[in-house]
């Protein structure tokens, strides 16, 4: 009897990717269920948020009828699901714009801020964690651990306010809150919504440096907290690998420390490290609420906060749904990277 051929590595990777893609609709359906029932459980009447609490009862009843809130919950959910599929997240009470339009306007600012913060955090946090692991128990290791502890312990609003007080109010090195100085407002055509990139496309270097200067402080604050977590996790992963038998064998063979650390040990922590980086980036993209509020950064976090304070539930649920989509997308990307970084992952 002929032996059955084993599937190739490429087919196994493709099957794993397809399996992950198949789970996405189920995850998104669960997310839609959660956001729908959150909107029905919170003690905020969306009708009163639209017409006001002083509106006559007949106006309230007519608005409730037009919104379909007089229907049973399962019919309301079916309509809500249909709207999501068609990209309709409702209309914001606060701005009178479609929620999708508002999110498309505010999300690029958060993307710009989060991307610079994660780049700084990875560039500093990963080498710092590796260095601390190779110097376990020494002064360098203790200093890095203290730094990571400070990053987790110091409240973000305290660091943000101290940053503004020192670099803006006292030393005058940094511009004030906001995304751009007022005299550059409206001077750069919007292409991507990312101000630094749009100013480069326009060739407006003064606007670019002004946007970068405004970006530096909030990105630095977010990067500090992110790199503290990344450095701590990198150190923990590296310590586990450096105690492995294959590292002892490599040292016995006379391999250099740099090769052992960076090629062998670091290569084996890439898979769990990818998860840490993906979730950290997702956390930044969901909107650093306090940081955006302190620095008056017009991003998704500030939009979500202001919408919640104004009982704008369409905006709140729409932004929450987008945050969930970001987490799902980054989880899927991390799973795909696993298969590229480690062929053993099936």
Residues 54 and 148 in one domain: no
1 pLDDT band, cuts 50/70/90, is very low
pLDDT at 228 over 60: yes
Same domain, 112 and 80: no
Q: Pick the most confident of 81-90, 228-237, 245-254, 310-319.
A: 228-237
The tokens 């500090």 sit on which residue?
224
Average pLDDT, whole number, for the chain? 82
Question: Are 78 and 186 members of one domain?
Answer: no
Is 154 domain-assigned? yes
Boundary-marking domain end, from 85, 116, 150: 85
CA atoms within 13 A on the CB side of 161: 6
Report which secondary-structure segment, H or E, holds 142: helix 139-153
Give φ, ψ of 185 to 5 degrees: -65, 125
CA–CA separation, 296 and 220 (whole Å): 15
CA distance 38 to 30: 12
In this predicted structure, the answer to whether residue 57 has a pLDDT above a threshold of 70 is yes
What is the distance between the alpha carbons of residues 279 and 274, in angstroms, rounded to a whole number? 9
What is the longest distance spanned by two Cα atoms in the chain?
A: 86
Alpha carbons within 13 A on the beta-carbon side of 126:
17
Instruction: With residue 304 as reference, give the H or E element that holds it.
Output: helix 300-309
Residues 136 and 272 in one domain: yes
CATH code, 320: 1.10.3720.10
Q: Name the DSSP letter for residue 117.
A: H
Domain boundary among 85, 117, 138: 85
Please give the pLDDT value at position 169: 85
Band of residue 131 on the pLDDT scale cut at 50, 70, 90: very high
Residues 126, 81 within the same domain: no
Let me know if residue 60 belongs to a domain.
Answer: yes
Q: Which position has the higher pLDDT, 232 or 330?
A: 232
Is residue 90 assigned to a domain? no
Contact 196, 212 (CB under 8 A): yes
**pLDDT tier at 115 (50, 70, 90 boundaries)?**
very high
**113 and 155 housed in the same domain:** yes
Average pLDDT value for residue range 91-111: 87
Q: Is pLDDT at 66 greater than 80 in this prediction?
A: no
Same domain as 32, residue 150: no
- The distance of Cα 283 from the centroid of its chain, to the nearest Å, equals 4
What is the average pLDDT across 223-249? 89
Of the chain, the percentage scoring pLDDT greater than 70 comes to 87
Same domain, 160 and 105: yes
Please give the share of the chain, as a percent, with pLDDT higher than 90.
14
pLDDT value, residue 225:
86
pTM, two decimals, is 0.83
Domain count, the chain: 2
Q: What is the pLDDT of residue 13?
A: 59
Q: Are residues 127 and 21 in the same domain?
A: no
Q: Could you say which of 20, 51, 85 is where a domain stops? A: 85
Classify 98 as helix, strand or coil: strand
Does residue 231 carry a pLDDT above 90? yes
283 and 185 in a common domain:
yes
Q: Which range among 37-51, 151-165, 272-286 shows the weakest confidence by mean pLDDT?
A: 37-51
Question: In this structure, is residue 255 part of a structural domain?
Answer: yes
Give alpha helix (H) positions in 6-155.
9-41, 46-51, 57-66, 73-85, 99-134, 139-153
Residue 4, pLDDT above cutoff 60: no
Structural domain that includes position 64: 11-85
- Check pLDDT > 60 for residue 216: yes
Are both 276 and 156 inside the same structural domain? Answer: yes
5 belongs to a structural domain: no
> Does residue 218 or residue 244 have the better pLDDT?
218
pLDDT at 240 over 70: yes
pLDDT at 82: 84
- Same domain for 111 and 184, yes or no, is yes
Residues 6+ apart with CB under 8 A from 142: none
């Amino acid at each position: 009897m002929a032996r059955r051929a084993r599937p190739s590595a490429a087919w196994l990777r493709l099957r794993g990717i397809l399996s992950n893609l198949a789970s996405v609709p189920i995850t998104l359906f669960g997310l839609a269920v959660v956001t729908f029932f959150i909107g029905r459980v919170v003690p905020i009447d969306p009708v009163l948020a639209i017409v006001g609490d002083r509106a006559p009862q007949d106006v309230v009843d007519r608005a409730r009828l037009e919104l379909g809130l007089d229907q049973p919950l399962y019919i309301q959910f079916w309509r809500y699901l249909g709207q999501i599929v068609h990209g309709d997240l409702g209309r914001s009470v606060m701005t009178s714009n479609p929620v999708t339009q508002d999110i498309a306007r505010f999300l690029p600012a958060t993307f710009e801020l989060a991307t610079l913060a994660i780049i700084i955090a990875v560039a500093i946090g990963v080498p710092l964690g590796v260095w601390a692991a190779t110097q376990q128990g020494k002064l360098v290791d203790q200093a890095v651990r203290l730094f990571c502890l400070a990053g987790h312990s110091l409240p973000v609003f305290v660091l943000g306010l101290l940053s503004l007080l020192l670099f803006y109010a006292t030393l005058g090195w940094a511009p004030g809150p906001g995304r751009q100085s007022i005299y550059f407002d409206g001077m750069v055509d919007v292409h991507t919504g990312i101000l630094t990139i749009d100013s480069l496309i326009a060739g407006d270097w003064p606007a670019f440096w002004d946007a970068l200067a405004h970006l530096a402080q909030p990105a630095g604050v977010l990067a500090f907290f992110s790199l503290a977590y990344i450095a701590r996790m990198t150190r923990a992963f590296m310590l586990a690998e450096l105690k492995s038998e294959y590292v002892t064998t490599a040292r016995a063979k006379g391999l250099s420390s740099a090769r052992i650390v960076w090629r062998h040990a670091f290569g084996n922590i890439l898979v769990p490290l990818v998860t840490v980086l993906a979730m950290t980036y997702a956390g930044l993209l969901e909107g650093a609420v306090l940081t955006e509020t302190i620095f008056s950064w017009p991003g998704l976090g500030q939009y979500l906060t202001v919408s919640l304070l104004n009982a704008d539930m369409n905006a709140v649920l729409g932004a929450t749904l987008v945050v969930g989509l970001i987490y799902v997308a980054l989880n899927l990307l991390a799973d795909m990277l696993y298969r590229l970084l480690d062929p053993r992952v099936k």
